Structure 1
Amino acid sequence: MTAHDRAGNTASASVAGTPVILQESSATKSGTWTTKSSSSYLGGKSYTSSSKNASLSWTFTGRSVAWTVSRATTSGQAHIYVDGTKTATVDLKSSTTKYRDAIWTKTWSGSAKHTVKIVVVGTSGRPAVTTDGIVYLK
């Protein structure tokens, strides 16, 4: 990629990485999760939970990660922890149904071992969280 500014300066940069998909089934589970099957899901399956504090966690070695979800009008919220620290609460609610949606991302300056954990909030009236897993760059 080459960027140009109004003063005529240019700079070039490139980014290389290998994306790796960690399916929901490779996560460490806590609480109640149900497997759903559909060709719309990444890899044909997903996990869904409406149980407050149900969690999934993945450990990987990489420099960037995205949490991949399905979203709908009935979707709830989830807390996201990175390396044991709560970093975000995301709302999966969407006016239209969406599949394979990278709802949250995190990038580090270099590749290292990290753990990402999602925890179901149990949002009143719409507690469901449906996940397809994570995608990370080595």
Structure 2
Amino acid sequence: MSDTPIVLFVCVHNAGRSQMAAGYMSALSGGAVEVRSGGSEPGDSLNPTAIAVMAEEGIDISQAVPQLMTTEQVRAADAVITMGCGDACPIFPGKRYEDWELDDPKGRPIDEVRAIRDDIRSRVERLLGELVPDAS
């Protein structure tokens, strides 16, 4: 792993879960982690409810744009965190992979999206603690 670990968060549309995870990792790591996100079938825009619940946490993801996850992003990442992209995510030996089973926030009421957000935050905090033990 390089001095600055690279984490790639991937979900199908790159419009909700992976964007919330990337927002948390960027905010909580204070630059100690290089954060990327992508989707296997990127959507047209971010989920507005995901934007709203992250804003409640003081994290602005409104300028993020769903983008296609590339093989090069996966190859460059130290950790690849998938969230329901199934077999669409390429796997390279020697990488850290985790599949986080999270409900898709698309079309869900805000209270359910808040619960998904809170689950993502606790997972990101754990991952950050493992990748950068001295990060606060």
For the superposition of Structure 1 and Structure 2, which TM-score range results when normalised by the shorter chain?
Answer: under 0.3
Using structure 1 for the length normalisation, give the TM-score: 0.27
Decide which structure has greater helix share. Answer: 2
Decide which structure has greater strand share. Answer: 1
